A and B are shown apart, each in its own frame.
Chain A
Amino acid sequence: MKDSNDRLLQVENLKKYFPLRSGVFSRTHGYVRAVDGVSFDIGRRRTLGLVGESGCGKTTLARALVRLWEPTSGEVVFDGVSIRDLNTREMRRIRRNMQIIFQDPFSSLNPRMTVGAIVGEPLAIHRVAKRRERLDIVRGLLEKVGLSGGHVNSYPHEFSGGQRQRICIARAIALRPKLIVCDEPVSALDVSVQSQILNLLRDLQDDYGLSYLFISHDLRVVEHMSDEIAVMYLGRIVEMAGGDAISENPLHPYTRALFSAVPVPDPSSRRKVIVLGGDVPSPISPPPGCHFHPRCPEKMGVCEQKYPPLKDAGGGHEVACFLY
């Protein structure tokens, strides 16, 4: 296995439950198990892609990871430091090195702040540079992400979606972080603009030695960006392996269906699409046993009773399925 020094982020059995309350005394009568025991690690300069359908817990995982939402339990070790019990001030120091980019570049920029103030804010909060130097740094950052340094006095509404996402990226790299959590960074963008942003993220990774946790529902995008891919279903990782291994040889029946369902931009393709029946079940009352069994074409008796653990099926290809 890899030396722990190579690993920038280690996540161990992370859980995030949201209590369901009702009645006069707001009694808790259940939990939404949004993230239900997830473990993985990300190497330095590596990209872990996280795919899954809506409601599978991708975004909750991203937020619990950087403690925007307090995890229910589990361990997150970032750069050798366990961040679970850090106080606010210590956590702030860690956050210099872990930034997050959100899906919607329209709601994640303050409309009343200029671009210069937005991108310079992290520098101000962390007291990285004096006011005057800050402006120069901000100009440099804007140019780095493909905007012009002259944009510092503009407001977000003057920019298109793709340009706004560039502003978000400039803000995220302002403190030279080691890890950026990208939560659906291109989902709100047009195809022709999406590819510009993906290229930019790649270039920044090479230039700054960044690690990414790249979250998306779009398999094509995740495959393009990732060294390793983890597939989530209903709060748990069902398969995790190198990007090539998972796309060429998906093991879990859900992964197989997911990959086969991605429309191929080639009309002559005669690929067989595995059409799954049913919908994604609710994380409030997940089916017993393997969460996927009601939709699974390969269901066996044991699947209804026990949840299959994630285990190595050879060559570091991990899968949570009783077939292996």
Chain B
Amino acid sequence: MALLQVNDLRTVFHLPGGTARAVDGVSFTLDEGRTLGLVGESGCGKTVTALSILRLIPSPPGEICGGMVVYAGQDLLRLSESRMRHIRGNEISMIFQEPASSLNPVFTVGNQIGEAIALHQGLRGKELRRRTIDMLERVGIPSPEIRANDYPHQMSGGMQQRVMIAMALSCMPKILIADEPTTALDVTIQAQILDLLRVLRDETGMSILLITHDLGVVAGMADDVAVMYGGVIVETGGAADLYRRPFHPYTVGLLGSIPGIKGKSDRLKAIPGSVPDPLDFPPGCRFHPRCGYAEAVCGTDAPSLRKIEPERYAACHFAEKIREKGKRQENI
């Protein structure tokens, strides 16, 4: 069942150099109890999409200029600010990439976790304290009674991210938006945090919108995947199927450019060129200057996200051709 539905979302930034169309018509559905991985490179609009859902876009220079974000039968973009405050951190929570800069350095972590609980659940005093410590324990912080009195700088990056997760989950949200939750962490700590997120997801049944540039992280977490490029979604599908049979040339390229985990192998299939600037997107399909399949039509007509197969959508004029090519290669 659809829990969150994003429809043709558009967010722009009015900058001195022009208008950056950071999110330019993004639609996707997050189902109940499922994890959707939103993948893309820097500047593709992943984070702006997440911030737009929670209406956290600084305005000016930002402006959400179109679309709908439907949660529980209401369009979040049209709610009053006070109603929205009730949603944020309570129904939909978010964790960010840099735990160190997301935590307030002058309050103890216990204090910061308690703030959300007090605000949304109205707990006070001993009850509040107990609930706070309970949350710290659930995210795997050793001796939580003592660590609750620590300031963020007394903790390592992995511990800080655990605190962020405790804070985000303290009011048992229906949806957790995790924006690059492990990018700033070391591999072994990343494994700890991903493991924790999986355990908590299974315990609470929450839905997760996982935003990351790392296709490996998505593969281990997500049920469904949406690939973003240049402010639009270029491909969506079930994780296993999309990784095995990508239909969009960008997804094909992205998967091909990951070094394999098997020794000093062949050359990588690099994508030429670089990520486009949101101030100056190429006309037509935004990927066409870097695309090996591009033809004249790609420079003029922007392909829309269309159904290629049940549960599989791609925004490419030649998606069927790429699918057939993939089929032939699989047979060989």
Contacts and interface: CB of A to CB of B under 8 A. Distances in A.
Interface string A277-307: 1011000000000000000000000000000
Interface string A230-257: 0000000000000110010000000001
A271 to B, nearest CB: 9
A243 B265 CA distance: 11
Contact of A257 (B188, B213, B218, B267): B188
A195 B270 contact: yes
A204 interface: no
A239 to B, nearest CB: 15
B16 interface: no
Interface string B252-285: 0111111111111101111110110000000000
A190 B275 contact: yes
Contact of A224 (B195, B255, B264): B264
B215 A162 contact: no
A262 B262 CA distance: 12
A268 B240 contact: yes
Contact of A191 (B158, B186, B220, B257): B257
A223 B258 CA distance: 12
B274 A264 contact: no
A195 to B, nearest CB: 4
A268 B220 CA distance: 9
Interface string B183-219: 0001111111011000000000000000001111111
B41 A192 contact: yes
Nearest to A274: B191
B98 to A, nearest CB: 14
B222 interface: yes
A53 B259 contact: no
Contact of B239 (A54, A161, A247, A267): A267
A195 B264 contact: no
Interface residues of B, number: 49
A194 B194 CA distance: 24
A54 B183 CA distance: 13
B243 interface: yes
B149 interface: no
Contacts of B220: 263-264, 267, 269, 273
A152 interface: no
Contacts of A276: 188, 191-192
A261 B267 contact: no
B191 A247 contact: no
Interface residues of A, number: 49
A193 interface: yes
B239 to A, nearest CB: 4
Contacts of B41: 190-192
Interface string A197-241: 011001000000000000001011101111100000000000000
Contacts of B261: 219-220, 223, 247, 259, 262, 264
Contacts, number: 148
A91 interface: no
A277 B191 CA distance: 10
Contacts of B192: 275-277
A266 interface: yes
A220 B186 contact: no
Given A190-B42, A223-B264, A195 B259 contact: yes
A261 B158 CA distance: 15
Contacts of A247: 261-263
Contacts of A227: 264
A192 B260 contact: no
A258 interface: yes
A189 to B, nearest CB: 9
B94 interface: no
A221 B253 CA distance: 17
Given A223-B263, A265-B219, A276-B192, A194 B240 contact: no
A199 B267 contact: yes
Nearest to B196: A275
A258 B192 CA distance: 12
Contact of A264 (B156, B219, B239): B219
A47 B260 CA distance: 17
A163 B274 contact: yes
B262 A223 contact: yes
Contacts of A260: 191
B159 interface: yes
B159 to A, nearest CB: 7
A297 to B, nearest CB: 12
Given A258-B187, A263-B217, A202 B259 contact: no
Contact of A225 (B215, B262, B264): B264
A239 B75 CA distance: 56
Given A266-B219, A267-B240, A279-B156, A196 B259 contact: no
Contact of A192 (B214, B243, B257, B265): B257
A224 B272 CA distance: 19
B259 A221 contact: yes
A173 B270 CA distance: 22
Contacts of B190: 261, 263
A160 interface: yes
20 contacts: A192-B270, A192-B275, A192-B290, A193-B270, A198-B259, A198-B268, A221-B259, A223-B262, A244-B264, A247-B263, A261-B190, A264-B261, A265-B216, A266-B219, A267-B222, A268-B243, A269-B219, A273-B191, A273-B195, A276-B188
Interface of B: 41-42, 156, 158-159, 186-192, 194-195, 213-220, 222, 239-240, 243-244, 253-265, 267-272, 274-275, 290
Interface of A: 47, 53-54, 160-163, 190-196, 198-199, 202, 217, 219-221, 223-227, 243-244, 247, 257-269, 273-277, 279-280
Given A192-B257, A198-B259, A224-B264, 4 more contacts: A193-B271, A220-B259, A244-B264, A273-B191
